[in-house]
Structure formats: C-alpha cells, structure tokens
Structure 1
C-alpha cells in the first residue's frame, strides 16, 4: 500500500473509529492492521450513506453472545449508535482476499437479521475440511461432482454456512457439519462482478446472503 494511503487511513481511523476498534487493530501485524482499519472505515461509510448521515455521527457498537454489546465491543455482529440510540440498520460484513462485502437493511422490521459472507475457494482446500465443515448429504453432493468443480462448490457451501451463522448470531458455536445449507430457505448465493473499483476480483471468490425475519 502506498505510504500516503496508509497515512490517510491512519488519520481518518483515529477520527472516526471507536477506541475498541482501535484497540483491536493495535493487536494486529501492520499489514493486517491497515486492512482492518480500512474495512471498518468502509463499513462506517457504507452505513452512514444508507442512513443519510455523516460517518462522524455513527459510533460502532458490536454485539457478541459471550461479551455483550455496546461501544466497548469491537467483534461479533456489527452495529452502530446514532444520536445516543441504536442506528436503524441490520448489518453484516465479511472480508476475504483483500476485499470486503457488506449487506444491510435500513429500518428493519422487528427481529429481522442479515448475514453475509465472502470466501475464497483456496481457503477451503485442505485435508480434513469436508469432515468438519460439511454434513453427510453435502459430502455426498460434493463427491458426485466432477473433481474440477469441487473447490468452487465447497467454498460456495462454506460461504452459505458462514452467512447463516452470522445471521443467527451463533457463529461457530454451532458445529458446521450439523448445518445443511444445500437448499435451506432464507439463503442466497450472490453473483459477484468480475471486477470492482477498477480491479479484478480474485478467481474463486464466492459470496452468500442470509436473511431471517424471526
């Protein structure tokens, strides 16, 4: 990354991100730290644009089943405070291969939740993945495919699982090999463009979206 870009990210992050987000960023290696800060700034800008307010009006307030919720939390389900109360936004985010995916619903109805996930097929290509990540039915489905098509399908299934578990808030507290996503209602595969922002997306990038009104 260009030093000028890095300096700009650091400056804007210091102005806009919460102390909890900055503290979390400071635990990371330099390159990962900048990627994290840039993604959080992009997320805040995305939320502010949807809500029609300046990004400076929003304060990050994440929700974690184990740690609680509020501005002191910087992990788990993303959310923001606006004018002292929860911003009217159901939001999900995912990062992979230097890219970030956001999904949101403005002024969501009671109980509406969203989950989005972005995966690179290369990240699921290791021995033992299928045994811990896929159900018996999903493994049979994968085995029936031509070997050349299995990496993409494996990553597609994993993106669907991650999106669903982000939507429910369970995360990997639920064993992924117990969650069948082959034809689960409320799940959609997202068709990604071949390029974005003038840059080609990596080959093998898959995305999924989950929505529930429960």
Structure 2
C-alpha cells in the first residue's frame, strides 16, 4: 500500500528494465524523449523511472498506468493535474548512475536529487555549483572531506531548484545552502543574505551508502518514509 509521503528507490538492473519492456505505458512524447538520449544507460534509466512513476501515480489515483497524463511545466518539470485543474499528487524523480529515486507526496511540492559518491575531487565543477562563501567553506575542510561536502551541497541545491520548478534556468552558484553535515532543515540564502525560496525546507535523506540524497518540499521534509520499491509495493 502506498504511503502519502514516501521516497521510493530502486537500483535499475536488468529485472526492472525487463519489467518496463514487458508493460509499455509511456506516452508518445515520453517514448520520443527516451530516443533522444545518446547513452543507452541513460535511455534505459529514463524508461524505468518513467514507467515506475506511472505505476505509482496510477496506483494512488486508481488508474491504469497508461491512463496517467502528465503536463510539462515551462522549465520541463512534469506534473499531474487532476480533473479540477489542481496539481496532485506531487512527485519528483532523480536518475543517477546505479540509482533511481521517486518522491511522492499528497501534501507538498517536492524536489529530490541524488549524486553517486565516486572518486574524484570535482574541482572543475566548483565555479558552476558553489557560491563564493560555499567555496571558501569547502576549501577550508580537510582534503579528504571536500568531495563529499561538495556533493552534499550540489544535491541540496538541485533538489531545491527541482522543487521550485526552475530546472536549469537558475544558476546554482547564485545562492547558498549549508555546507555542514546535517539532516535538519537548512536555511537557503542569496548573496545579499536574504532568505531565498523560504517556502521550501531542504534536508538530507539516507537511502544507500553509495549515494548522497537531498529532498526539498514546501512542508516539513522529516515525515517522508524511505522504502525500496518492490513488485509488492506496486501491487504486482
């Protein structure tokens, strides 16, 4: 049975790929988008993620997955609008190597992002992702702690912009989030020190050790239940 506020995750292996192929439910636009991916891996992950999203939303609404209709916002964020014109339920999806995450809520707008914790220092991404203050704070850490601190900031920012529906239209380096290791609600500040996007709460979420994950939502983010997605959860 689906919970009202849940974060579901899967490792996109061959079994999930085979399930997606055995029950095609993507819209013509989604099928066309899947073909636009140059990487076979990214294409497969998109198909798996969108199929599972349709199954989850369909189960919540009492619809077949093929009957679920998504609208696309001005910056590319998909959402579901009910017959009364209201966005409901709220959801967001993250694809990253080795992990697909679907956040689902009946209460609040949400955004979720995950990054794989791999080798590397990420210096080439600092100017794109970090504000000046964040860069100073991360560079002041022990070198061994810097990569994880950078990824943590990156996921928090991506989750926030996905919740707000900004997509890539907002520069990540133009606002600040906390660099520290915390699961508490995090303040988001602009360069001038003003609270930014104050309607959203941002927190870290523990899912799998190989990835860092953050969620942003317009209500308290602490009440989301994290569950591995299984066939039983999907009612299959």
TM-score, normalised on structure 1?
0.75
**With CA pairs under 8 Å and 6+ residues apart, which has the higher RCO, 1 or 2?**
2
How far does residue 5 in structure 1 lie from its aligned partner after superposition? 6.6
Q: 2:28 aligns with which of 5, 19, 34?
A: 19
> Comparing 118-127 with 163-172, which one deviates more in the overlay?
118-127
How far does residue 159 in structure 1 lie from its aligned partner after superposition? 0.1
What SS is found at the alignment partner of 2:207?
Answer: coil
Give CA-to-partner distance per residue, 1:108-140, whole Å, 9 cap, x none: 4xxx42111111233884333112211122112
- Structure 1: segments with no counterpart, 5+ residues: 66-75, 195-202
* 1:71 aligned residue: none
Q: 1:211 aligns with which of 204, 210, 217?
A: 217
Q: 1:160 aligns with which of 145, 156, 159?
A: 156
* 2:129 aligned residue: 133
How far apart, CA to CA, are the structure 1 residues paired with 2:68 and 2:120? 35
* Superposition misfits of 4+ residues, deviation over 6 angstroms: none
How far apart, CA to CA, are the structure 2 residues paired with 1:125 and 1:40? 32
Note closer, same or farther for the CA distance 1:83–1:55 as it changes in structure 2 (3 Å cut): farther
Q: 2:205 aligns with which of 175, 190, 197?
A: 190
How far does residue 85 in structure 1 lie from its aligned partner after superposition? 5.7
How far apart, CA to CA, are the structure 2 residues paired with 1:179 and 1:124? 24
- Structure 2: segments with no counterpart, 5+ residues: 1-12, 179-185, 189-200, 220-236
How far does residue 174 in structure 1 lie from its aligned partner after superposition? 1.4
* 2:48 aligned residue: 38
Alignment coverage as a number of residue pairs: 187
Within 5 A, what are the aligned runs for 1:16-165? 16-28=25-37, 29-65=39-75, 76-80=76-80, 88-106=88-106, 108=107, 112-122=108-118, 125-165=121-161
Q: Which one has a larger percent helix, Structure 1 or Structure 2?
A: 1
- Contact 1:188–1:210 under 8 Å retained in 2: yes
How far apart, CA to CA, are the structure 1 residues paired with 2:116 and 2:16? 26
TM-score, normalised on structure 2?
0.69
Note closer, same or farther for the CA distance 1:45–1:149 as it changes in structure 2 (3 Å cut): same
Note closer, same or farther for the CA distance 1:52–1:33 as it changes in structure 2 (3 Å cut): same
